[in-house]
Amino acid sequence: MPLHRALCEKISQPESGIAKLPANDAESPGSHAHEISEPLCAILLNAETGLRWLDQSELDVVKLRDLMRRILDDTRRASDIVARIRAATTG
């Protein structure tokens, strides 16, 4: 398993201290970390996929364009999460 994938899987797992927080605590640091890790890992994995596709002899431009759109969507999602966390913490 590539290191990037292993890190994404590790990031997505609740840490022992975070797992003890109440499940309904939407503003907990653990929920923020998990929420932001999902789009960041998706960006990483999709970018790795795109680079592999670029190395292929026959490039499927339609498929690559769709992948780039997914990366953009996940980037916007991560940015929105950060903005929401920032707004909540600065009050």
Show Cβ contacts of residue 77 under 8 Å, excluding neighbours closer than 6 positions: 39
Q: Residue 24: phi, psi to the nearest 5?
A: -90, 5
Domain regions of the chain by residue span:
53-86
What local confidence, expressed as pLDDT, does residue 20 receive? 39
CB distance 53 to 59 below 8 Å? yes
What local confidence, expressed as pLDDT, does residue 19 receive? 39
Please identify every stretch of the chain with a pLDDT value under 70, giving residue numbers as ranges.
Answer: 1-7, 9-30, 91
pTM of the model: 0.69
Q: How far apart, in whole angstroms, are the C-alpha atoms of residue 57 and residue 59?
A: 6
